[in-house]
């Protein structure tokens, strides 16, 4: 019986792979110190992030939602990619195979590490979308607009400061419409074009690495079985023990900042 943590066997497959797809989740960001804002403990002020990350919340109080996203942008700007991000970016930079990252993370740390070919399933903290003309733009300004300067601290403000008027929130440079964070909120669908691009990569890859999440948990659960069914090897790198699943070839347990660079070392 083959062991799921057989690194020499993985290396053989990896060396020959010509098209590697990396599926990454919250775990790789957590190792860079980025809080998930999801699940238990995922609170900002007195809100669950689930209650702020909706279009309804933005409609009701765009200032509040922008303060939350401003806070998250500023937080991420103080963080750095970790060795797992770097080794994925270095693999792409070698240029001897195709490497595509499909990530659920919105923090842009793969790109900060140098990855170019990144599909962001949930959008990005550093992109905006105009509510009027639909234009998507990258924006890494800190703060994104002067009115948000000094706002967004996670402590409850008592009394809460005045809402920032809509005309002082981020506005479109083309049509001056109100901008929203270009992220997928609760109750919203993933972008069809983004999903199609991800699907194509998964159909063509000859190796799939699942980093910082499990193949049985979203988002990889959506994609990894499709790869495994074609007989293509899937390797997981995460903190949790192996799920009772035999359809995935490899599982390397531990911090992905340690396991991924070791696995992707080519000599």
Ligand X SMILES: *[C@@H]1O[C@H](CO)[C@@H](O)[C@H](O)[C@H]1NC(C)=O
Q: Which residues bind Zn ion (CB under 5 A)?
A: 130, 132-133, 172, 174-175, 177
Q: How far is the CB of 179 from Zn ion (least distance, A)?
A: 8
Residue 97 partner contact from Zn ion, ligand X, none using kind-dependent CB cut-offs of 5 to 8 Å: none
Residue 222 partner contact from ligand X, Zn ion, none using kind-dependent CB cut-offs of 5 to 8 Å: none
Q: Is 169 or 263 the residue whose CB approaches ligand X more closely?
A: 169
> Using CB under 6 A, which of 25, 108, 170, 212 touches ligand X?
170
Q: Is 144 or 264 the residue whose CB approaches ligand X more closely?
A: 144
If you search the block for the tokens 């809080």, which residue do you land on?
35
Q: What would the x/- binding string for ligand X be over residues 134 to 153, using CB under 6 A?
A: -----x-x--xx--------
Q: Is 16 or 175 the residue whose CB approaches Zn ion more closely?
A: 175
SS (H, E, C) 130-156: ECCCCCEEECCCCCCCHHHCCCCCCCC
Q: How far is the CB of 126 from Zn ion (least distance, A)?
A: 18
Q: Which of 190, 156, 151 is nearest to 69 (CA)?
A: 151
With 0-12 / 13-18 / 19 or more C-beta atoms within 10 angstroms meaning exposed / middle / buried, residue 179 is buried
Under rule CB under 6 A, residue 132 binds ligand X: no
**Between vectors from CA 111 to CA 181 and to CA 82, what angle results, nearest 5°?**
110
Judged by DSSP in three states, 127 sits in: strand
Q: Which of 122, 149, 246, 251 is catalytic?
A: 122
Cα 4 to Cα 218, 229, 236, 251: the distances in Å are 21, 17, 9, 5
Q: Where are the alpha helices (DSSP H) in the chain?
A: 7-16, 26-30, 49-52, 55-60, 62-77, 83-94, 109-113, 192-204, 220-229, 256-263
- Annotated active-site residue 122? The verdict is yes
What does the block give as tokens for 200?
Answer: 């194509």
Q: How far is the CB of 141 from ligand X (least distance, A)?
A: 4
Q: Is 163 or 239 the residue whose CB approaches ligand X more closely?
A: 163
Q: Which residues are catalytic?
A: 122
Binding residues vs ligand X (CB under 6 A): 139, 141, 144-145, 170-171, 179
């Amino acid at each position: 019986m083959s062991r799921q943590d057989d690194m020499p066997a993985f290396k053989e497959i990896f060396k020959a792979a010509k098209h590697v797809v990396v599926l990454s989740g919250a775990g790789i960001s957590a190792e860079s110190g980025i809080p998930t804002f999801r699940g238990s403990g995922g609170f900002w002020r007195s809100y669950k992030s689930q209650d702020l990350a909706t279009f309804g919340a933005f409609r009701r109080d765009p200032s509040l939602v922008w303060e939350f996203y401003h806070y998250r942008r500023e937080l991420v700007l103080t963080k750095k990619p970790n060795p797992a991000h770097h080794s994925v970016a270095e693999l792409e930079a070698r240029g001897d195979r195709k490497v595509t990252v499909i990530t659920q993370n919105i923090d842009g740390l793969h790109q900060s590490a140098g990855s170019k070919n990144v599909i962001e399933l949930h959008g990005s903290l550093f992109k905006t979308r105009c509510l009027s003309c639909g234009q998507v733009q990258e924006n890494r300004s800190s703060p994104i607009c002067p009115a948000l300067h000094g706002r967004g601290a996670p402590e409850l403000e008592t009394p809460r400061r005045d809402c920032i008027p809509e005309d002082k929130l981020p506005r479109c440079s083309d049509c001056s419409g109100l901008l929203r964070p270009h992220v997928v909120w609760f109750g919203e669908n993933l972008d069809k074009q983004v999903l199609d691009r991800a699907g194509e990569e998964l159909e063509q890859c000859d190796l799939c690495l699942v980093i910082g999440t499990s193949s049985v948990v979203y988002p990889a659960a959506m994609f990894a079985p499709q790869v495994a069914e074609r007989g293509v090897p899937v390797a997981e790198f995460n903190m949790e023990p192996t799920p009772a699943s035999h359809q995935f070839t490899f599982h390397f347990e531990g911090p992905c900042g340690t396991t991924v660079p070791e696995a992707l070392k080519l000599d």
